[in-house]
Structure 1
Amino acid sequence: MSDPELARFFLSLVLLLVGALGGGHMFERLRLPRVIGEIAGGIALGPSGLGLVSSEAHEWLFAGFPAQGALLSAFYWLGLVLLMFTAGFKMQAESAAGSGRIIPALVVGALAIPFALGYAGAPLFADAQAGDGFAFKLVMGIAVGVTSIPVISRIFLDLGLMDSSFARNVIGAATIQDLILWSLLAIATAVQRGDAADAAGIARVIAVNLAFVLASLFLAPAAARAIRRRAFGKFTEAPLTGYTMLLCLLFVAAASLLHVNVVFAALLAGLVMTRFPSRHLAAVKQHIADISIWFFVPIYFALVGLRLDLAHQFDGTLTLLFIVTSTAIKLASCTVAARTAGAGWARAFDYGVAMNTRGGPGIVLASVAYAAGIINERFFTALVTASILTSFATGLWLRWRLAQNPDVFDELARPSAAGMHPAARPVPAIATLPKSDGLDRRRALADGGTPTR
């Protein structure tokens, strides 16, 4: 690579990061999901923004020499892997025990029913299929059922609801749901690669993925503990950060060799990290999360926006059909499921809206399915658009509910720990806010003000 090419590549990275961080900051100031602003920054630099003003400038910046696309793609995948890695080791910290009846009901309402209907309804979206039919049906089922833990968690924190049983139920159900859906996505990508051409092949892929999960969650932590005691026991936070990153890359490399989806492998690597409650590792995980969330992940989301060509890839009919049908299915199934578990109709509908938040995982699904050749460009755009709009809708709905009645979730907030079943007591590791702070935020919203973060 020549010096001018290297300079152009670094300039493209600078612009992507500035666009992502600037867009994220702007959306955060508007009390909107940061991830949407990061994508918007990429859209502004892509064919839907800069490309419309000057296609030559866009080509010069982001496709100026043959290797530039591959280099940007490497950052794209590294950002995606780190996003899933950090999501994995935050899952246990952000999820907590909730109602014993609500969580299983939400898993059925948000996962089983939407996945089954999405799988069965895949022929309605046959024009969006680009690869294997079975893989496409799996992706359709996942697309209808997916829920974003990061976005809904951020909304709960902003509204002061993270310490409520409502939030714990939603995040607990979404955690179980997403683990299952990422497993199914791993199978879908294997089928698309041709590793599962018949029933025996599908069974073999399922067996490999199951073995990888079991080895990851049961054998890997024990091996890592033994190695750490013998070789790394006296290491400080700085080298442990490097070895933790090494663990993530080892999982991803092993998954590639075994034809297991690398995104799923990164998530499992993160889950392995939750098995180590060490005080030093808590700081290490925070360091990795900081560099990932503020550098690699924004570049990933900006590159997602950069790939969107709304002028040529946006299909209004396809996008509207998917958003309407998937939202109707998710809302109805989650609402009915929560109602059968004992929630009132209004609260059950709140659960349905919250579980319909697609956010980052919906965009990750679109990225993986498109890169694997399962869906076409138009459906990739539709999935990203659906993820953005449903995240908007959830934030607006919950803010409106609090504006109507600042105490609407109070009957769910902070049940007495002394009278709770031990399994339902709040986990100390959760990032919670004092109740008074949450109430102040809610009342400020009801009065039309802007609560501080």
Structure 2
Amino acid sequence: MNDSELARFFLSLVLLLAGALAGGHVFERLKMPRVIGEIMGGIALGPSMLGLISPEAHKWLFAGFPAQAALLSAFYWFGLVLLMFTAGFKMQSEGAEGSGRVVAAQVVGGLMVPFTLGYFGASLFADTRLGDPLAFQLVMGIAVAVTSIPVISRIFLDLGLMNTPFARNVIGAATIQDLILWTVLAIATAVQHGDAADAAGIGRVIAITLTFVLASLFVAPAVLRVLRRKFFGKFSEASLTGYTMLLCLVFVAAASLLKVNIVFAALLAGLVMARFRSRHLAAVRQHIADIAIWFFVPIYFALVGLRLDLAQQFDVSLTLFFIGASTAVKLTSCTIAARVAGVTWIRAFDYGVAMNTRGGPGIVLASVAYAAGIIDDRMFTALVLASILTSFATGIWLRWRLARNPNVFELAGNVGTTSFGRPSHAPTNARTTINEAAAGD
């Protein structure tokens, strides 16, 4: 690159980060998920707004020379990897609590039924398929079943609900289901890339993916404990930050060589790091989360918005049908499952609304499926908009419930007739940790 191209590239990064942070700040002040504002910042700079007002300016800023798209794509993927890495930090601890009966019911209602219906109902959206039919069916199953742990956690924190059994049950169920769904996504991308052309190939992909998961969760922590005893005591927190990032890249590189989805590998790396509870490593994880959530992840979400061309890619009937059908399936299934588990109908509906929050994971799914060539730009737009609107809907519903009765989640409504206490505000340290380590999703 020459000096002019380098200057233009850095200017595009400045505008993307500024737009994402400004949009995130506005939506945060409105008590809405910051991720939506970050995407809106990208939309404002993309073909949906700036491209309509001044196509020449948009092209000059973001497509001014051949290498610019590749450079921005590198930031896009690095932001996505760090988003999943930091999400893994929180997933294990947040999903550790909850009522076994309600959690199990929500896993069935929120995962098995929606995924099955999405998988077999994929033919309704067949005209948006670009790649392998099986990969497309798997993606559509995930699209209906996915729940956003960070966004729903952020909503619970803002409303002071994080310490209630209701919140713990939702997060516990979402943790289990999302781990399974990310595994399925890894299989879907392998199928799309031609690594599973027949039954034997699919079996091989599943075996490699599960082996990678087991090695990541059981072998890698043991190896890291040995290394920590021998070497880590000699390192400062700053140097451990670099080595932790190295661990993430090792997981991603190994997954790439094994043809396992790299986004899934980053999540596993975060889960491995979450297994270590030392004070020094907790500070290291926070340093990485700070860098990720306030720099790389906003750029990633802004680039998601930048890729949306609502004038050309927004298919109104397709989007409304997908959002309506997938919401009806997830909402009904989770509500009935919660009712079967013994909660009241209104509380069961609360579970259905909360589990339908798709947020960042829904956007990540859209990004991965679109980049892999599984879905077209219309379905990509529909998935992103579904993630945004369901996150809005959950926040509005729970706020309305609390506005009508501030003690609604303290009253009977969970299993049996027990009343549960709820502090008016979440602890400051818990709020800070989740906001900074996960709220970007």
After TM superposition, the score normalised by the length of structure 1 is 0.92
Structure 1 residues 438 and 67 mapped into 2: Cα distance closer, same or farther (>3 Å)?
closer
Matched residues in 2 for 1:406 and 1:60: separation?
52
Cα distance in structure 2, aligned partners of 1:405 and 1:46: 42
Matched with 2:85 is 85
Distance 2:115 2:62 in 1: 37
Quote the Cα distance in structure 1 between the aligned partners of 2:424 and 2:46: 44
Deviations 1:18-39 (A, max 9, x none): 0000000001111111000000
Q: 1:210 to 1:280 in 2, by over 3 A?
A: same
Residue of structure 2 in register with 1:219 after alignment: 219
In structure 2, distance between residues paired with 1:301 and 1:255: 23
Q: Is the 8 Å Cα contact of residues 106 and 334 (structure 1) preserved in structure 2?
A: yes
Cα separation, 1, equivalents of 2:424 and 2:253: 47
> Post-superposition shift, 1:95?
2.5
Tell me the distance in 1 between the aligned counterparts of 2:223 and 2:33.
38
> Aligned equivalents of 1:158 and 1:362: distance in 2?
21
1:174 lines up with 2:174 in the alignment:
yes
Number of equivalenced pairs: 424
Distance, in Å, in 2 between the alignment partners of 1:90 and 1:338 is: 25
Q: For residues 57-87 of structure 1, give each alpha carbon's deviation from its aligned partner in whole angstroms, at most 9, with x where no partner exists.
A: 0000001110000000000000000000000
**In structure 2, C-alpha distance between the alignment counterparts of 1:374 and 1:437, rounded to whole Å:** 43
Q: Provide runs of 4+ in structure 1 moved above 4 Å.
A: 412-415
Q: Which amino acid aligns with 2:253?
A: A
CA distance in 1, matches of 2:232, 2:2: 40
Distance in 2 (alpha carbons) for counterparts of 1:403 and 1:303: 36
State the Cα deviation string for residues 268-316 of structure 1 (Å, max 9, x = none): 0000011111110000001101110000000000000000000000000
Shift in CA distance, 131/109, structure 1 to aligned 2, threshold 3 Å: same
In 1, Cα distance between equivalents of 2:275 and 2:402 = 37
Equivalence for 1:231? 231
Specify the code of the residue in structure 1 equivalent to 2:335.
T
State how far apart, in whole Å, the 2-side matches of 1:414 and 1:325 are: 27
Structure-2 change in CA distance of 1:18 and 1:237 (3 Å): same
Counterparts of 1:250-329 in structure 2, within 5 Å, are 250-329=250-329
Distance 1:290 1:84 in 2: 14
1:31 maps to 2:31: yes
Deviation string 1:397-420 (CA, Å, 9 cap, x unpaired) is 0000001110000137999xxx9x
The residue that corresponds to 1:447 in the other structure is none
In the alignment, which residue of structure 2 is the partner of 1:17? Answer: 17
Which residue of structure 2 aligns with residue 343 of structure 1? 343
- Separation (CA, whole Å) in 2 of partners of 1:159 and 1:90: 19
Contact kept in structure 2, 1:165 and 1:412, CA below 8 Å: no
- What is the alpha-carbon distance in structure 1 between the residues aligned to residue 190 and residue 103 of structure 2? 30
Q: Post-superposition shift, 1:232?
A: 2.4
Shift of 1:229: 1.7
User: In the aligned structure 2, how far is the partner of 1:232 from the partner of 1:392?
Assistant: 43
Q: How does 1:433-448 map to 2 (within 5 A)?
A: 435-437=423-425
Alignment partner, residue 104 of structure 1: 104
Tell me, in whole angstroms, the C-alpha distance in 2 between the residues paired with 1:377 and 1:291.
Answer: 30
Q: In 1, Cα distance between the equivalents of 2:224 and 2:67?
A: 37
Q: Does 1:384 align with 2:372?
A: no
User: Shift in Å at residue 98 of structure 1?
Assistant: 1.1
Aligned to 2:3: 3
Q: 2:197 aligns to what?
A: 197
Partner of 1:187: 187
Equivalence for 1:429 = none
Could you tell me how far apart the structure 2 residues matched to 1:114 and 1:243 are?
A: 40
In structure 1, C-alpha distance between the alignment counterparts of 2:214 and 2:250, rounded to whole Å: 16
**2:33/2:391 contact within 8 Å kept:** yes
Distance in 2 (CA, whole Å) between partners of 1:130 and 1:286 is 39
User: 1:437 & 1:379 partners in 2: Cα distance?
Assistant: 39
Q: Does the 8 A contact of 1:164 with 1:413 survive in 2?
A: no
Q: What residue in structure 2 maps to residue 448 of structure 1?
A: none
Amino acid at match of 1:65: F
Cα distance in 1, alignment partners of residues 2 and 425 from structure 2: 55
**Matched residue SS, 2:411:** helix
Q: What RMSD, in angstroms, separates the aligned Cα atoms of the two structures?
A: 1.8
The 1:102/1:81 distance shift into structure 2, 3 A limit, reads same
Give the SS at the match of 1:76: helix
- 2:99, 2:84 → 1: CA distance? 27
Partner residue, 1:160: 160
Residue range with higher mean Cα deviation, 227-236 or 324-333:
227-236
Amino acid across the alignment from 2:239? P
**How far off is 1:235 after superposition?**
1.0
Question: Which letter does structure 2 place at the counterpart of 1:435?
Answer: P
What is the deviation of 1:96? Answer: 3.4
Q: Tell me by how many angstroms 1:434 deviates.
A: 7.7
> Offset of 1:190 from its aligned partner?
0.2
Tell me: CA distance 1:319–1:15, structure 2 relative to 1, closer, same or farther (3 Å): same
434 and 123 in structure 1: CA distance in 2 versus 1, 3 angstrom threshold = closer
In structure 2, distance between residues paired with 1:100 and 1:91: 17
Is the 2:216–2:272 contact (alpha carbons within 8 Å) kept by the matching residues of 1?
yes
Where does the alignment leave 5 or more consecutive residues of structure 1 unmatched? 420-425, 427-432, 440-453
In the alignment, the residues of structure 2 paired with residue 241 and residue 106 of structure 1 have an alpha-carbon distance, to the nearest angstrom, of 37
1:24 touches 1:35 (CA, 8 Å); kept in 2? yes
Match of 2:259, SS? Answer: coil
Label 1:194 to 1:239 Cα distance change in 2 as closer, same or farther (>3 A).
Answer: same
Structure-1 separation of matches of 2:399 and 2:165:
17
Amino acid aligned to 1:144 = V
CA contact (8 A) 2:344 2:413 kept: no
**Aligned AA for 1:362?**
G
Q: Which digits, 9 at most, give the CA deviation of each residue in 1:122-169, with x for residues without a partner? A: 001011101000000000000000000010000000000000000000
Tell me which amino acid in the other structure corresponds to 2:159.
Answer: L
Tell me the amino acid that sits aligned with residue 176 of structure 1.
I
Q: Unpaired segments of 5 or more residues in structure 2?
A: 428-441
